[in-house]
């Protein structure tokens, strides 16, 4: 893996770890409705924890994609590179556990949503396509937070 991609992934992982630190005094704000509905997508005893992981991870992925796009020479300049960063971030943050396998409804809804919003072109991304990636991952974060009770 290219060293530049490793640096981006490390930055994303550090920021995600910081964002996952629990806050005892802050009450969650209501999350408005949006195009993605993940109601009942997280099941079982770890549902809230897994939803929080997906929310934080998706938010961080959006932040990294957005930040990278502001650089003079973005590292994540193809759909393939963006998807590889997302995949590696998920593998690192979930320590190899697939939340998609654990929560198949989540996997189906997020996959369908991303395909509808982003397509599956692995080629060079325009500024408009990059903005769509950022928006899509912010929506996944919002929808995941909305499921946490």
pLDDT, tens digit, 9 for 90 and up, residues 104-114: 999 999 999 99
- Tell me the β-bridge partners of 78: 124
Beta-carbon contacts of residue 136 (< 8 Å; ≥ 6 apart): 113, 114, 117, 118
pLDDT, tens digit, 9 for 90 and up, residues 101-146: 899 999 999 999 999 999 988 899 999 999 999 999 999 999 999 9
- pLDDT, residue 73, reads 93
Say yes or no to pLDDT of 7 above 80.
Answer: no
pLDDT band at 27 (very low <50, low <70, confident <90, very high): very low
- pLDDT, residue 35, reads 87
pLDDT band at 98 (very low <50, low <70, confident <90, very high): confident
Beta-carbon contacts of residue 32 (< 8 Å; ≥ 6 apart): 142
Q: Output the pTM of the full model.
A: 0.78
Say yes or no to pLDDT of 62 above 90.
Answer: yes
User: Using H for helix, E for strand and C for coil, what is the string for the chain?
Assistant: CCHHHHHHHHHHHHHHHHHCCCCCCCCCCCCCCCCCCCCCCCCCCCHHHHHHHHHHHHHHHHHHHHHHHCCCCCCCCEHHHHHHHHHHHHHHHCCCCCHHHHCHHHHHHHHHHHHHHHCCCCCECCHHHHHHHHHHHHHHHHHHHHCCC
**Under 8 Å between Cβ of 40 and 105:** yes
């Amino acid at each position: 893996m290219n060293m530049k991609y490793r640096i981006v992934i490390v930055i994303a992982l550090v920021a995600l770890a910081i964002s996952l630190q629990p806050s005892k005094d802050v009450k969650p704000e209501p999350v408005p409705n949006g195009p993605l509905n993940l109601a009942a997508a997280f099941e079982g005893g770890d549902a809230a924890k897994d939803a929080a992981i997906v929310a934080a991870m998706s938010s961080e992925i959006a932040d990294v994609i957005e930040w990278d796009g502001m650089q003079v020479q973005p590292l994540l300049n193809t759909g393939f590179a963006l998807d590889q960063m997302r995949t590696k971030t998920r593998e690192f943050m979930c320590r190899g556990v697939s939340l998609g396998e654990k929560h198949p409804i989540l996997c189906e809804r997020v996959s369908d949503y991303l395909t509808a919003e982003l397509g599956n072109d692995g080629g060079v991304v325009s500024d408009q396509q990059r903005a769509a990636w950022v928006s899509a991952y912010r929506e996944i974060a919002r929808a995941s937070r909305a499921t946490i009770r």
